[in-house]
Structure 1
Amino acid sequence: STFGLRKANVRKGITRFHRGIDIANEIGTPIYAPADGRITQATDQLEAGAYYGKKAQNYGKVVELETTGGVTTLFAHLRDYDVQVGNMVKAGDVIGYMGNTGSSTGPHVHIETRIDGKLADPKRVWPNLR
């Protein structure tokens, strides 16, 4: 799924704002850090509502990476992760593995990016995401 408005229920014509992008692949596919940075979250159950300050779905296992320029990127629905809060990582390091944890409809990673706390399209910030 892409960033922005998307159909949440095609039959009813309901749209919702998707706060990130979804990349599907097999469970266990490595997730790589898109840039050098510091791990700011690594947790087994992140309630998205706690992340947004309102009720929302569960992100399951997540890792959040803080990079330069006030950029933070969250990777959600992971099967597992290899990092701890405070770890420094380099671009290309494995930070986790694709999964289906939390409120998920199948194996994928949900990626959200913020610049100075404001949502941004992860594909624009990280054009090499795949």
Structure 2
Amino acid sequence: MTTTCSCTGRNMDRLLQPAILMILCDHDMHGFLLLQHLSESPMFTGTYPDPTGLYRYLKKMEQNGLLTSRKQEQEGAPSKTVYHITEEGRHCLKQWEETLADYEQRLHEFLGCIREKL
């Protein structure tokens, strides 16, 4: 079995959105810091999501009204884009919580079925 097989659970990209929203609930942050926080989250356990994909996803989330961004000027360095969760983003995160709780129950039942077969 290769480590790139989806059965290893390493491909959790679908959960990138709730992970970003969860992190931004605490405070606004720029993309690189967000990337670091994501790598430390339970969904990524020390691995970094693809930075290019993350920035593309942040832009998409902003277009969908889940985030806003602003430029933060820095002396002697390029400006940083700082992201902020919107009320719509908070509502979306609440929906994720409900959806994931439902998935958790169904996964528990499914896992029981798998264990019976093995």
TM-score in terms of structure 2 length? 0.28
Normalising by structure 1, what TM-score?
0.26
Higher relative contact order (CA 8 A, sep 6+): 1
Q: Which has the larger radius of gyration?
A: 2
More strand by share: 1
